[in-house]
Amino acid sequence: MRSQLAAHTSWANTEDREQRTAPARNALEAKFLAEASGDPVRAESVRKAYYKRLAFESAKARRENKIGGEAA
């Protein structure tokens, strides 16, 4: 609870949310570019695959939770 309170307080005191998260976004884009050997077109595909994989895993988890909830 304390960490959640601290996180909410911190975000409440953040005036420019975009600026605060910029380093993380830039690092992730740099990771995609590095995985694509510096090719920005391939990096875009790496990025899309990453987010599609996240969506797939999320849908799978929701489906498994729904099935598990119905059995209980």
72 residues of the chain, pLDDT tens digit each = 999 999 999 999 999 999 999 999 999 999 999 999 999 999 999 999 999 999 999 999 999 998 876 655
How many whole angstroms separate alpha carbon 50 and alpha carbon 53? 5
Q: Which of 50, 72, 53, 71 is nearest to 61 (CA)?
A: 53
Which pTM does this prediction carry? Answer: 0.73
Q: Which of 51, 46, 16 is nearest to 34 (CA)?
A: 46
Phi and psi torsions of 66, nearest 5°: -65, -45
CA angle 52, 28, 57 (to 5 degrees): 25
